[in-house]
Structure 1
Amino acid sequence: MPGNTTHAAENTPLLASHKHESLPGPREISRATRYGVLAGIWTANFLQALNMTLVATLLPSISSQFNQSNQASWIGTSYLLATSTFTPLYGRLCDILGRRGANQSAILFTALGTLACGLSGNMEMLIVARFLAGIGGGGINTTATIVTSDLFSIKSRGLVQGIATFWSALGMGLGGPMGGFISDRFGWRWAFLIQLPFFVVAFVLTSINLRYATPGSHKRTIDVLKHIDYGGTLTLLGSVLSFLIFLSNRFNKGLEISDVTVAVPLALSAVFLILFLTFELRFAPAPMLAPALLKQKVPVCVGLSNLLVAQCNFAITYYFPMWFITCALTSASTAGLHLVPNSVATSTGSLFAGWVMHKTGHYKKLNLTFGAFPFLAAILLVRMTPESGVFTQWFSIIPLGFGNSIVLQTMIIALLANLPESDVAVGTGFGQLFRGLGQVSGVGSSSAIFQYYLDRELKSRITGSDADSIIDSIRHSATIVATLPPAIKDQATASHAIAIRAVFIMAATSTLLAYIIRLPIPDCNLDDLSRKRAEQPRNVAAAAPSAAAVEGALTSEHNQTESEGSTLSDADEATDQVPQASIDTHSQVPARPAPRRTRRLSGYESMGSSI
């Protein structure tokens, strides 16, 4: 309408408008440029996923050098804490800095943090460096998802996102083996430093190719900044961080609950949690925790399942290599190699889930069948001993990666299939928030359980005048176990076996609870759903979606298109090349649209509808 056009023009900077007119649209760039963009964002995505699990086999070497094994879990939790907390902010930054600016800011944060990790002189500096890297890590995944949504139509996006998921899964799977291999041969610092040239490659590729105009990117910076959920981000960070400090002081350091350094963090965690919920439910202009979805069965079930599945995944990923180092007394590289079957299984499971859903049009039976696999794997790991056969030690973990990758893929589709399209953005962001919290709790809670049982078992098995110093040295250095006198070595390995078994039992409990929680989620015929949505009147909003609209999919990876199971053909690319300005946005708009109930937007939803 003329009035609306005038208002939009008044709020659009003239210089920015001329700048964007000189650039092609995201679906008008050449195929070579498009592939260059994908190569850049996927290289960074692979490195981000690699860093999530890289330290699993580095922990013994790092903690032994700094003599702080009981604090080693902070190396992993600090990265995951930053990733889960700062992820929602990057969609807004795509509106402020543009796609390239936001993506390269994330790459820069991660690269600087990785460099600082390699140069760290003590445990405290390393933990801070990992947090810095995590601030960028979440942004890499978010901006990659947004760029992928810019470049491809909804028909083509499923295949492209499936390939992106494969590289992410491969990065997470190779993190442990690569870290152990490099640590044994060159030292743990090189596991971080060797990544820097690849960050440079990703930065250069996006600098050259990630240059296109995007609709909705002309919004005033002040308007975008107003809709960033600062309060939610800070209170969530405060709550989770305080709880992790409580776990560390209570179980890793063995302090009493009455100690001020234990009681105060626990109280602060509760206070920050109350503030987070209050802010999200009452004051946040664009809350990351969508209040409306807390009343719906499917989003709540998917969110809780994501939390428990991630908790199981990361608990086993971090302590499975530790079992081989402290119980089977292998090297870090050998321990890391035992994660390779899990890496292959995870990548294969993701592709298998997409293929089956494409062929059958259903996800429920697939989820129920293979969703039990992680529980089977956890039970096999609980029963594993140094005397177990080669097959058991190498392949018991395969059902974990294969089953959990299928669960995560099917849960994304289940969520999207059971929500109206208007709620897809907030729903996927809701599920991703719980998944990030599960990753943090998986490492933090498993560390607390491990240290508690290790301390208890060592004190009951090792006695004598110098028992305290021996126990302290064992808890502070995992690699020292192999060098102990035979009698003490046996007691140390037995203590580690019991402590790690407790972690595996916790993981088994988590995945079993996740399976039970998923049972009420209904099935959908994806073929019928896709057909119905395709037949709906294609009323396009007057304003094109901005980056924050795409942010609704965030790191949950837009896998809703996998239900269509399409492949990227020349015809698809031809569709992608249609200039967006040529689409008639008014021919099918009803004269009197049905009124809709006004609701508060989530931080994952469209800025276009909120400004």
Structure 2
Amino acid sequence: MSESEKPEVVLEKPGDSGVPAPKNVRVVLLGLMIAMLLAMLDNMIVGTAMPTIVGELGGLNHLSWVVTAYALATAASTPLWGKFGDMFGRKGVFMSSIVLFLIGSALSGMAQDMGQLIAFRGVQGLGAGGLIVGVMAIIGDLIPPRERGKYQGMMAAVMAVAMIGGPLVGGTITDHLGWRWAFYINLPLGAVALFMISAVLHLPKKRTKTKVDYLGALLLTTGITSLVLVTSWGGLEYEWASGTIIGLAVLGVVSLVAFVFVETRAAEPIIPLRIFRNRNFSLMNIIGFLVGFSMFGAITFLPLFQQSVQGASATNSGLLLLPMLLSMMVISLFAGRYTTQTGKYKVLPITGGALMVTGLYLLSTMDTETSRFESGVYMAVLGAGMGFLMQITMLIAQNSVEMRDMGSGSSTVTLTRTIGGSFGVSLMGSLFSSAVTETLTARVGPAGDKVAAQLDKASMARLDPQMKSAYFHAVADGTHQVFFWGAMLAILAFAASWLVKEIPLRGAGPEKKAESAPAEPAAAQA
């Protein structure tokens, strides 16, 4: 790299470390949690409003694209936001992502047809890609890893609030204010987050003369988009063996291989490949992928089992996951406190991996006789496993990269977890559908194919007792397949956790205070 290409870091004020005074840290974190809530809450609220949206705008055939456009834009932009934060300064880039998300929210609320809504959801997704990774990277800048554990409970609580409250809030807003307010509700929350971050957050202001790696960005975006489409369309829109799915898979793989080749030669790569030389970082990406795979699969199919087989109400679907989410939140808080007090962490992913395998296996044993209490206990075990893993994977990953790569490292872990969730929902969905159809056909003959498409409670109520019993057994069999293979895959996460090397967390021990400030200014001076 030539002298003129070397990044130049400029502090906002001479000698300013960029760290807010202790009394302001909690205010900054509150603003960050609101921004994180925006990204997590949005899909939950919008999902509840979708039937009303389709009723007004039409376009039922394009319904899936309302979700797919958002997911694609989020996944494709996540690594770019992380890298831009490393290059141009975390605060400005993060605030830009919030503004873009709010613009997309306002436009989505004003959409006049399904085409406009899909396009505006894409804009919203582009902003959402920077929200979660921005929160993680800024926390990585502000708080040393040794101290970061105590704030894990806050992030777990935000996730639980979004997953439990999202469907309830979405239904209430849609019924009383109209579906457009499912998007407009983001505006006041986003404004509060912007004000708090603008007024209180102070980080080193950067300026870089290095050219942006546009070719790498294009190849990475193409690869991610292709793979997300494969997981979104495979087995639903197109057969897995269709030319479209195979073509997208080939395009995705070729694009990512070309991306790796380009990154080895780029002056400022979007994802610096050097970060994968650290064993712990690579392991956290593997574990994060598997946790995303299992978590989103569980969230998708557990309510379906409880509504269909156990007769629970769909209105309170978010509450059905309460045992899992509360367990995850409590354990995440405990794990954070443990890490802060002891500085040790290797036991956490090992314990989490073991509990995740156990929880998924227990869920695979559910049948038509399983009570809600039993399924709640099983969910709590799985939630405990995820509580040990969800935040610790990010903490270990951030502790494994240099401060200059904090954004890229955070976005990479976030991306692998997102891709894992996408694969999980898609592949588990295929397993579930195949098992349901196979069981129904075996019990009631060819008529089972028609019943397999009727997954709503109202349709089931009209079936005769024999057909209804066959359907309940089919859903139980599908659930067994989903969680059994999820448990088999989770064994890989458990095995990977044993390979983690326990390296002292930055900010630990007697020199904690001296190490609490971000290292980027010092690195720049060096």
The answer to whether the 8 Å contact 2:16/2:204 transfers is no
Question: For residue 383 of structure 1, what is the aligned residue in structure 2?
Answer: 365
Question: For residue 578 of structure 1, what is the aligned residue in structure 2?
Answer: none
CA distance in 2, matches of 1:52, 1:372: 30
The answer to whether the 8 Å contact 1:52/1:172 transfers is no
AA aligned to 2:39 is Q
AA aligned to 2:286 is L
Structure 2 runs not aligned, ≥5 long:
none
Q: Deviations over 1:331-377 (max 9, x none)?
A: 22333211122222222122111222233332223432343111111
CA distance in 2, matches of 1:68, 1:454: 28
AA aligned to 2:218 is L
How many residues in Structure 1 have an aligned counterpart in Structure 2? 520
The answer to whether the 8 Å contact 1:252/1:452 transfers is no
Question: For residue 463 of structure 2, what is the aligned residue in structure 1?
Answer: 485
1:530 pairs, out of 498, 508, 513, with: 508
1:297 pairs, out of 276, 279, 288, with: 279
Question: For residue 193 of structure 1, what is the aligned residue in structure 2?
Answer: 181
CA distance in 2, matches of 1:370, 1:111: 36
Q: Percent identity?
A: 22
Question: For residue 559 of structure 1, what is the aligned residue in structure 2?
Answer: none
How far residue 381 of structure 1 moved from its aligned partner, in angstroms, is 1.3
CA distance in 2, matches of 1:197, 1:478: 29
The equivalences for 1:141-540 within 5 A come to 141-148=132-139, 152=142, 154=144, 158-159=147-148, 162-163=150-151, 165-182=152-169, 187=174, 193-194=181-182, 196-197=184-185, 199-207=187-195, 210-211=198-199, 217=205, 219=207, 223=209, 226-227=211-212, 229-253=213-237, 255=239, 257=241, 259-280=242-263, 282-415=264-397, 430-458=412-440, 463=445, 470=450, 473-474=453-454, 478-479=456-457, 481-486=459-464, 487-524=466-503, 530-531=508-509
AA aligned to 1:369 is T
The answer to whether the 8 Å contact 1:370/1:407 transfers is yes
How far residue 291 of structure 1 moved from its aligned partner, in angstroms, is 2.6
Rate the CA distance shift 1:406–1:169 in 2: closer, same or farther, 3 A.
same
CA distance in 2, matches of 1:391, 1:250: 35
TM-score in terms of structure 1 length: 0.69
CA distance in 1, matches of 2:509, 2:401: 16
AA aligned to 1:167 is M
Rate the CA distance shift 1:443–1:249 in 2: closer, same or farther, 3 A.
closer
The answer to whether the 8 Å contact 2:289/2:416 transfers is yes
Identify which range, 331-340 or 201-210, moves more after superposition.
201-210
CA distance in 2, matches of 1:369, 1:79: 34
Q: Deviations over 1:362-396 (max 9, x none)?
A: 22234323431111111121112342123113232
The answer to whether the 8 Å contact 1:109/1:135 transfers is yes
Q: Deviations over 1:100-139 (max 9, x none)?
A: 6433432233334445666778877666554433322231
The answer to whether the 8 Å contact 2:17/2:517 transfers is no
SS of the residue 2:426 aligns to = helix
Question: For residue 51 of structure 1, what is the aligned residue in structure 2?
Answer: 42
How far residue 248 of structure 1 moved from its aligned partner, in angstroms, is 4.8
* RMSD of equivalent CA atoms: 4.7
How far residue 495 of structure 1 moved from its aligned partner, in angstroms, is 3.1
Q: Deviations over 1:490-525 (max 9, x none)?
A: 444433333333222232122211101222223356
How far residue 99 of structure 1 moved from its aligned partner, in angstroms, is 5.6
The answer to whether the 8 Å contact 2:150/2:337 transfers is no
CA distance in 1, matches of 2:169, 2:180: 10
CA distance in 2, matches of 1:451, 1:68: 25
Rate the CA distance shift 1:272–1:158 in 2: closer, same or farther, 3 A.
same
AA aligned to 1:520 is L
AA aligned to 2:494 is Y
Question: For residue 126 of structure 2, what is the aligned residue in structure 1?
Answer: 135
The answer to whether the 8 Å contact 2:290/2:493 transfers is yes
CA distance in 1, matches of 2:240, 2:410: 40
CA distance in 1, matches of 2:482, 2:448: 25
Rate the CA distance shift 1:232–1:402 in 2: closer, same or farther, 3 A.
farther
CA distance in 2, matches of 1:184, 1:431: 32
Q: Deviations over 1:47-83 (max 9, x none)?
A: 2233365577778998999999999776656544433
The answer to whether the 8 Å contact 2:359/2:379 transfers is yes
Q: Larger Rg: 1 or 2? A: 1
CA distance in 2, matches of 1:359, 1:31: 21
CA distance in 1, matches of 2:158, 2:515: 41
Rate the CA distance shift 1:440–1:400 in 2: closer, same or farther, 3 A.
same
Rate the CA distance shift 1:244–1:219 in 2: closer, same or farther, 3 A.
closer
The answer to whether the 8 Å contact 2:353/2:497 transfers is no
CA distance in 1, matches of 2:354, 2:44: 24
1:86 correspondence with 2:86: no
The answer to whether the 8 Å contact 2:360/2:382 transfers is yes
Q: Deviations over 1:256-279 (max 9, x none)?
A: 72x433332233233223223322
Identify which range, 310-319 or 367-376, moves more after superposition.
367-376
CA distance in 1, matches of 2:31, 2:513: 36
Rate the CA distance shift 1:456–1:118 in 2: closer, same or farther, 3 A.
farther
SS of the residue 1:520 aligns to = coil
Rate the CA distance shift 1:162–1:197 in 2: closer, same or farther, 3 A.
farther
SS of the residue 2:302 aligns to = helix
CA distance in 1, matches of 2:59, 2:365: 29
CA distance in 2, matches of 1:366, 1:291: 27
Rate the CA distance shift 1:609–1:451 in 2: closer, same or farther, 3 A.
farther
TM-score in terms of structure 2 length: 0.79
Identify which range, 478-487 or 169-178, moves more after superposition.
478-487
Question: For residue 576 of structure 1, what is the aligned residue in structure 2?
Answer: none
Structure 1 runs not aligned, ≥5 long:
546-584, 586-605
AA aligned to 2:474 is S
Rate the CA distance shift 1:132–1:342 in 2: closer, same or farther, 3 A.
farther
CA distance in 2, matches of 1:97, 1:117: 29
